[in-house]
Amino acid sequence: MNKIPEKTIERMILYRRLLLGIQNNETNNIFSHQLAAMAGVTSAQLRKDLTPTGYYGSPVHGYDITQLMDSISEIIDAPQMQNVALAGLGHLGRAVLDYSQGRRPKLQIIAAFDTDPGKINRAIHGCRCYHTDEIEKVIKENNITVGILAVPVDEAQEIADRMVNAGIRGLLNYAPMQLKLPNDVYVENRDMIMAVEKAAYFARQSVKGKEGKVHESLS
């Protein structure tokens, strides 16, 4: 399997979700320009993105929706189940849990961590909450490889270190700081403060009525 560009992966995830949404409609097929319009990309972009799947559409009928979904899933889903751990059950952690609820069968948040005694040993959406002290134990025992960091900034580095030591290979970081972690661990930063500042900056660049979009940022 060749290395697939990061941006392509992001869009594949989007394409699959869009396809899922139009499944069971009257039609079983879709053309590249239709799906591209839903995703907000050009049809050429979409077709190039699909190259790594090896799935070929027909110039006459376009793509078979189900087959295309499956082909994309082969790439972006793990062969077996992938377990996820969530650190921090404040407002943000709860939001993450709510959003992720029942989305992907192959990818589930099976454990959450917090220090609040009122939350420990309770389950939300089928996800059990443990005390932060148990991070290492729970991650190892359940073979969890993906982590979500939703703790306050001042705890973020320590918790991240512990998660990585316990076996986390990919980390989604919501703390507004730059984590120092081994190079072989993937980190996806979702800095909420930066996001607002960025939106504000580009809001100023956006001149009303000017055609040709300011530009848009996926993911």
Partner DNA sequence: TCATGTGAAGACATTCACAGCA
Partner DNA sequence: TGCTGTGAATGTCTTCACATGA
Of residues 116 through 145, those in contact with a copy of itself by CB under 8 A are 145
The bridge status of strand 127-131 relative to strand 123-124 is: antiparallel
Q: Kindly state the smallest distance separating residue 45's Cβ from DNA, in Å.
A: 4
Q: Does 212 bind a copy of itself (CB under 8 A)?
A: yes
Binds 60: which of a copy of itself, DNA, none (CB < 5-8 Å by kind): DNA
Member of 50, 69, 84, 171 binding DNA (CB under 7 A)? 50
For residue 170, the one-letter residue type is G
CB of 169 to a copy of itself, least distance (A): 4
User: Which structure tokens are listed for 155?
Assistant: 């705890």
Which tokens go with 42? 């050009």
The smaller minimum CB distance to DNA, of residues 33 and 122, is found at: 33
Q: Are strands 144-149 and 82-87 parallel, antiparallel or unpaired?
A: parallel
Contact partner, 191, from DNA, a copy of itself, none, Cβ < 5-8 Å per class: a copy of itself
Among DNA, a copy of itself, none, residue 216 binds (CB under 5-8 Å by kind): a copy of itself
- Of the pair 58, 219, the CB lying nearest a copy of itself is at 219
> What does the alpha-carbon distance between residue 105 and residue 84 come to, in Å, rounded to a whole number?
12
Distance between CA atoms of residues 123 and 129, nearest Å: 6
Cα end-to-end span (Å), the chain: 24
Answer for which of 44, 116, 133, 186 binds a copy of itself (CB under 8 A) is 186
The residue from 65, 84, 151, 163 that contacts a copy of itself (CB under 8 A) is 84
Which residues are within 8 A (CB) of 54 and not within 5 positions of it... i.e. 6 or more apart? 71
Cα 174 to chain center, whole Å?
12
Q: How far is the CB of 54 from DNA (least distance, A)?
A: 9
Q: Which residue, 92 or 159, is less far from a copy of itself as judged by CB?
A: 92
Distance from C-alpha of 125 to C-alpha of 100, rounded to nearest angstrom: 10
The answer to whether 82 and 107 are in contact (CB under 8 A) is yes
* Residues in touch with DNA (CB under 7 A): 5-8, 31-33, 41-45, 47-48, 50-51, 55-60, 62-63
